[in-house]
Each structure stands twice: as structure tokens, then as C-alpha cells.
Amino acid sequence: MKKWRLIFAILLLLIVVTYWQGGADMLHKKTATPYELEEPALFFKMTHPANNPLTAEGTELGRHLFYDPILSLDSSISCSTCHLQALAFTDGKAFSHGIYGRSGKRSAPSLVNIGYHYKGLFWDSRSSSLEEQAVHPIEDPLEMGNSWPTVVKRLQEHPFYPTMFKAAFGIKKDSINQAWITRALSQFQRTIISSDSKYDRVIEGTASFTAEEHRGMTIFFDASEELPFSECGHCHTDPLFTHLKLENNGIDKEGDPNRDKGKGALTGHSFDNGQFKVPTLRNIALTAPYMHDGRFKTLNEVVDHYASGGHPGPNVSPNVRPLTLSQKDKQALIAFLNTLTDSTLLYNETLSNPF
Ligand code: HEC
Ligand code: HEC
């Protein structure tokens, strides 16, 4: 008889432990509403971490957190201060400004279609996922300058966040932590999709290019032997207009001590010097100034850089070389780049400030 009691007690214990560990996930499935992301037909499918599926409540919580300065030490800066919807989630500055006007070291990249960037985040790709990336701006002294325990405490004691965390993840106030916060921020960022530019409509067959835009596209993708090649499409590949890998596009002289070494600063390997993640060109007309340090103010300057071939060096991609573009070709390239602007993104209410 005693033996049976013991077995029963062990079984009970097992059930309790299993429920306790999986409890959050079970509640999560019960309470939160799955969110069906509308993905552009031409894009490959976005992948989501198994422990962070998109839900309506999770995305909504993430949107609140993204726009809330509560995450910064002095409550003055939110993610959106440097990633503004009106500028395709950039900030229009060469170097972003964090708390107390502190200047950062690089330019804020656009967050459009960021959920598709599975090869790494940041200009040097040092971060492997949105969940991991979101840890950093909050504690970066040049950005939000806060500490995670402070952020967690503020949210646990907040009048409405505990209810939102419960709805999104089925967790109690005391369980709000860094992992759940970064999951919510990531869910929201995965909904920042941009695919309604004139270019997309031409591909769909519902709009048409002017002769100049068409010429620009042909040059961009090296699509005709009759026009000069520009090599742009090797790195800024369709449909994201980035192949998501790192490249050296020859903007700096090899060995210049003042330059940002990009991936080289991270690894210490000289062959990584000057390697930066290829940025998307979607909405490029809205995201000046250009490059990781905002050195070029206009697209004219950018195109002049590529036309000249930049600074040659052992790490520079063979696709960056002196081009034979006429003034007319350069203007056509810029006209094409201007067709990559998606104005619906700028007014999409599901992506805008909820406060
Ligand atoms: C003070 C300005 C600033 C704030 C605030 C800020 N960011 Fe950024 N963000 C940047 C800069 C600058 C970079 C590029 C840094 C680098 O690559 O070294 C960046 C990079 C990123 C990237 C990587 C983009 C890519 O193309 O790889 C993501 C994602 C991102 N930020 C999300 C966020 C989120 C989420 C928040 C809020 C928790 C936030 N940012 C707050 C300036 C800011
Ligand atoms: C070998 C790959 C490669 C080729 C070819 C290439 N780019 Fe780039 N492009 C990059 C990289 C890498 C960066 C970011 C470099 C940096 O910031 O240090 C970049 C940055 C840019 C930017 C700035 C984007 C931003 O958000 O700041 C524009 C605009 C641009 N390229 C347009 C073009 C055009 C137009 C062409 C063709 C004339 C072209 N690129 C060819 C790799 C390439």
C-alpha cells in the first residue's frame, strides 16, 4: 500500500513540475491570438523562433514598448527616437543621439523588412536575432543608457504593462523579464514590412516605369548589354535590395587609422576590415544621409562614389570598380532608386505610435 502511495506522490510531483515549467507556454497558447502576417508574394517566408510565435497581443505590446521612452534611463528616448516611421525607421542623422545628447558611433539603419534579416543584425552582423539585438540599445550608454533590472522593475510596477504581458504571454507581473520584453519588441519589429513601392507595383503589373526609371533599373541589374553595367544588383539583390551579407564597397582607404573597421573591429582579422552589412535600398530616398557613418548626403554623391570605383584595396569587392556611367545613366539610376519608396509604410497605423 505504501509503495502505491509513493508512486502516486511521485506522479503528482511530476505533473506539478511539468505544468510549472510549461505553464507559461500553455497559458500563452490559450490566451494570445495568433497573428497572421501578410507576407509579400515575392519575399521568401519569414522564420520565427519556436518560443516566440507572432500573436496580436505580443505585437501590440511590442509596439507600445518600441514607442515608450520608459526603456531609457532618463525616460527621454525610445527605440522610435532613432527609428522613426516617417523616415522608414531611420533618424535622418549621420550619428544617432542617445540620452543626454550623447552621440553614437554609427548611423541608425532602416528597420523595414528586418524580420527577414536572418544572417545577422547591426552594421557588422554581430547580433544573431532580433531577440538578442534588443538587449543592447537599452543598456548602451550612448543610446538608452539604462540597466535591465531597472527596466524590468519599471514595467512590473507599471499601471498597464503587467496586464499586457499577461495577455501576450500568460505571465504574472513577477515573471516580466528581459526575455519576454525582447520577445515582444521582436514580434513588433517582424511586422515592419515594406513592399508597396512603385517598383513592386510594376512587378505586379499594376503600374509602369517611365523610360528613365526603366533605363535606371536596367543599369542597376546589369540587364542589357546595350547599357553600361553598374553591378549594384549583385549586393543589393531583389526583393529586399540586400543579399544580407557583409561587403567592402571601397568607401575608405585601406589602413586609414580614422576609419571604422566594421567587421574587422570585431574579429581583429585584417581581411574583415571595411566589411559592413549591405543595407536595404528600399525607401532609400527617405533615409539620407547614407552609409554606416552618414558620409554621403545625397544619392548623387552615392552614385558618384560607385561610378568612381572608390578606394581600391585587397578587401574591396570586385563588383566595386570604376564604371562608365554618363550623366544620363546616373540620373536614371537615381530615378530608379526613387521608385523604391513605399509611402503606405509611413502612414500604416499598425506600425505607428500607440500613445
Ligand atoms: C540612440 C539611437 C538608437 C536607439 C534609441 C535605438 N537604436 Fe536601434 N540602432 C541604432 C544604431 C546607430 C544602429 C546601428 C548600430 C551598429 O550597427 O553598430 C541600430 C541598429 C538596430 C538594429 C539592427 C538593424 C540592422 O539592419 O541590422 C535593430 C533591429 C534595432 N536597432 C532595433 C532597435 C530597438 C528595438 C530599439 C529599442 C529597444 C533601438 N533599436 C533603439 C540606433 C538606435
Ligand atoms: C559589393 C557590394 C555592393 C555593390 C556592388 C553596391 N553596393 Fe551599395 N552598399 C554596399 C555596402 C556594403 C554598403 C554599406 C557600406 C557602409 O556603410 O560602409 C552599401 C551602401 C549603399 C547605400 C547607402 C544605404 C544606406 O542606408 O546608407 C546606397 C544608397 C547604395 N549602397 C547604393 C548602391 C548603388 C546605387 C550601387 C550600384 C551603383 C551599389 N550600391 C553597389 C554594397 C554594395
Give per-residue pLDDT as tens, 135-175: 999 999 999 999 999 999 999 999 999 999 999 999 999 99
pLDDT of residue 31: 76
Over residues 121-135, the mean pLDDT reads 98
CA distance 48 to 144: 27
Q: What is the pLDDT of residues 84-124, one digit of tens each?
A: 999 999 999 999 999 999 999 999 999 999 999 999 999 99
Residue 255 has pLDDT above 90, yes or no: no
Is the CB–ligand 1 distance for residue 62 below 6 Å? no
Higher pLDDT residue, 51 or 13? 51
Q: 201 burial class (0-12, 13-18, 19+ CB within 10 angstroms)?
A: middle
pLDDT of residue 198: 98
Measure 305 CA to ligand 2 centroid, in angstroms.
10
Using most ligand atoms within 8 A of CB, pick from 221, 251, 278 the residue to mutate for ligand 2: 278
Q: 46 burial class (0-12, 13-18, 19+ CB within 10 angstroms)?
A: middle
> In the structure, what pLDDT confidence band is assigned to residue 343 with cuts at 50, 70 and 90?
very high
Over residues 241-252, the mean pLDDT reads 98
Measure 289 CA to ligand 2 centroid, in angstroms.
13
Q: Which segment of 139-143, 223-227, 240-244, 252-256 scores lowest on mean pLDDT?
A: 252-256
Residue 307 has pLDDT above 70, yes or no: yes
Residue 330 has pLDDT above 50, yes or no: yes
Give residue 124's Cα distance to chain centre: 13
> In the structure, what pLDDT confidence band is assigned to residue 22 with cuts at 50, 70 and 90?
very low
Over residues 224-233, the mean pLDDT reads 98
Which residue's C-alpha cell is 552609409?
291
Using most ligand atoms within 8 A of CB, pick from 64, 80, 114, 122 the residue to mutate for ligand 1: 122
pLDDT of residue 13: 58
Q: Using CA positions, which residue lies closest to atom 9 of ligand 1?
A: 108
Give residue 247's Cα distance to chain centre: 18
- The pLDDT > 70 percentage for the chain reads 92
CA distance 279 to 291: 8
Residue 228 has pLDDT above 90, yes or no: yes
Over residues 224-238, the mean pLDDT reads 98
- The pLDDT > 90 percentage for the chain reads 90
**Ligand 2 atom showing the smallest separation from residue 231 Cα:** 5
Measure 140 CA to ligand 2 centroid, in angstroms.
27
Residue 14 has pLDDT above 70, yes or no: no
pLDDT of residue 236: 98
Higher pLDDT residue, 1 or 158? 158
pLDDT of residue 23: 47
pLDDT of residue 109: 98
Measure 142 CA to ligand 1 centroid, in angstroms.
11
Measure 343 CA to ligand 2 centroid, in angstroms.
22
What residues line ligand 2, using a CB cutoff of 6 Å?
A: 230-232, 234-236, 247, 249, 251, 276, 278-279, 281, 284, 287, 290-292, 302-303, 306, 317, 319-320, 333
Which residue's C-alpha cell is 544621409?
289
**Ligand 1 atom showing the smallest separation from residue 138 Cα:** 38
Residue 20 has pLDDT above 80, yes or no: no
Residue 351 has pLDDT above 90, yes or no: yes
pLDDT of residue 254: 86
CA distance 108 to 291: 10
Residue 189 has pLDDT above 60, yes or no: yes
Using most ligand atoms within 8 A of CB, pick from 236, 292, 339 the residue to mutate for ligand 2: 236
Q: Using CA positions, which residue lies closest to atom 16 of ligand 1?
A: 122
How high is the mean pLDDT of the chain? 94
Q: Using CA positions, which residue lies closest to atom 34 of ligand 2?
A: 232
pLDDT of residue 8: 66
Contact 170, 51 (CB under 8 A): no
Contact 272, 210 (CB under 8 A): no
Contact 333, 232 (CB under 8 A): yes
Measure 197 CA to ligand 1 centroid, in angstroms.
24
pLDDT of residue 257: 87
